[in-house]
């Protein structure tokens, strides 16, 4: 500081600036000093100002700490996001692989036996049951059941099964026979399905709506 003031006095500098720590045992303190030559005729005059800037320095320190913490959290968040993206990508790939496996197993290990059974049965009711089995297996390979289960309402497993039968054109009597339930129970589930699917208009056809989900 003394050297800087001397340079202003001898004309080497027009102005000298410095901020410095001056801590005491009780607290941390910083000061700012400015020495400048006064302009005008007459003898040399040097104006020196001295200011306590502790509050500013403490604020700068807190800002640096906050910025460092933000960088740490940002880096952590970027790492977490990268891991999440990798997990979601792997999950999607696993789901696609599983769908392909299920599809291939149905085509090669199940459907051929259904076709043989269809040829062996002569009664119309039995053949109707085979048709429903075939249709149900085909549903596994289409997005119908998945879309039905992920609508913005909660369908019970029983309602999903009944919805699949309705979609295939089965009457309440047909469904009651295949599920071992009364016709009144099937009609009760039909009303619940219409309500949950938003089919408040009596003219809206439940089967037509379910077929549109494919």
Residue found under tokens 């979601």: 88
For 123, which DSSP code? S
**Alpha helices of the chain — where are they, by DSSP H?**
2-9, 54-105, 111-120, 124-140, 144-149, 157-167, 172-179, 183-196, 206-211
Q: Pick from 167, 193, 188: which is nearest to 176 by CA?
A: 188
| pLDDT at res. 50 | 92
- Pairing between β-strand 30-37 and β-strand 15-21 as defined by DSSP bridges: antiparallel
CA dist., res. 164 & res. 134, Å (int): 12
Length of the chain: 214
| CATH classification code of 142-214 | 1.10.10.10
CA dist., res. 35 & res. 14, Å (int): 8
Say yes or no to pLDDT of 212 above 70. Answer: yes
Question: Residue range 117-136: average pLDDT?
Answer: 68
Question: Is there a contact between 182 and 120 (Cβ–Cβ < 8 Å)?
Answer: no
CA dist., res. 160 & res. 120, Å (int): 30
Say yes or no to pLDDT of 139 above 70. Answer: no
Encode pLDDT of 35-67 as tens digits. 998 888 888 889 999 999 999 999 998 999 999
Say yes or no to pLDDT of 175 above 80. Answer: yes
Say yes or no to pLDDT of 123 above 70. Answer: no
Compute the chain's Rg from CA coordinates: 41
CA dist., res. 196 & res. 77, Å (int): 39
The rounded mean pLDDT for the chain is: 81
CA dist., res. 141 & res. 139, Å (int): 5
**Which region among 115-119, 138-142, 194-198 has the lowest average model confidence (pLDDT)?**
138-142
Encode pLDDT of 194-207 as tens digits. 888 888 777 778 88
Q: How far is CA 162 from CA 4, 146, 179, 180, 207, in A?
A: 92, 15, 9, 12, 11
Q: Which residue has the higher pLDDT, 106 or 31?
A: 31
The ranges of the chain annotated as CATH 1.10.10.10 are 142-214
Question: Residue range 175-200: average pLDDT?
Answer: 88
Question: Residue range 89-106: average pLDDT?
Answer: 70
CA dist., res. 99 & res. 105, Å (int): 10
């Amino acid at each position: 500081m003394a050297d800087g003031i001397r340079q202003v006095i001898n004309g080497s500098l027009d102005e000298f600036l410095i901020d410095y720590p001056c801590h005491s045992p009780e607290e941390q303190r910083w000061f700012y000093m400015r020495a400048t030559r006064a302009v005008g005729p007459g003898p040399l005059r040097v104006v020196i100002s001295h200011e306590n800037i502790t509050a500013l320095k403490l604020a700068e320190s807190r800002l640096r700490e906050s910025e460092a913490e933000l960088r740490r959290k940002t880096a952590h968040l970027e790492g977490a996001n990268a891991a999440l993206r990798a997990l979601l990508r792997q999950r999607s790939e696993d789901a696609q692989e599983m769908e392909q496996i299920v599809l291939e197993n149905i085509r090669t290990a199940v459907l051929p036996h259904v076709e043989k059974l269809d040829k062996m049965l002569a009664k119309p009711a039995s053949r109707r049951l085979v048709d429903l089995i075939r249709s149900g297996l085909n549903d596994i390979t289409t997005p119908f059941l998945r879309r039905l289960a992920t609508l913005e309402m909660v369908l019970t497993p029983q309602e999903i099964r009944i919805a699949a039968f309705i979609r295939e054109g089965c009457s309440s009597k047909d469904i009651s026979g295949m599920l071992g339930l009364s016709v009144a129970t099937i009609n009760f589930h039909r009303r619940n399905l219409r309500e949950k699917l938003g089919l408040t208009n009596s003219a809206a056809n439940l089967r037509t709506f379910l077929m549109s989900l494919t």
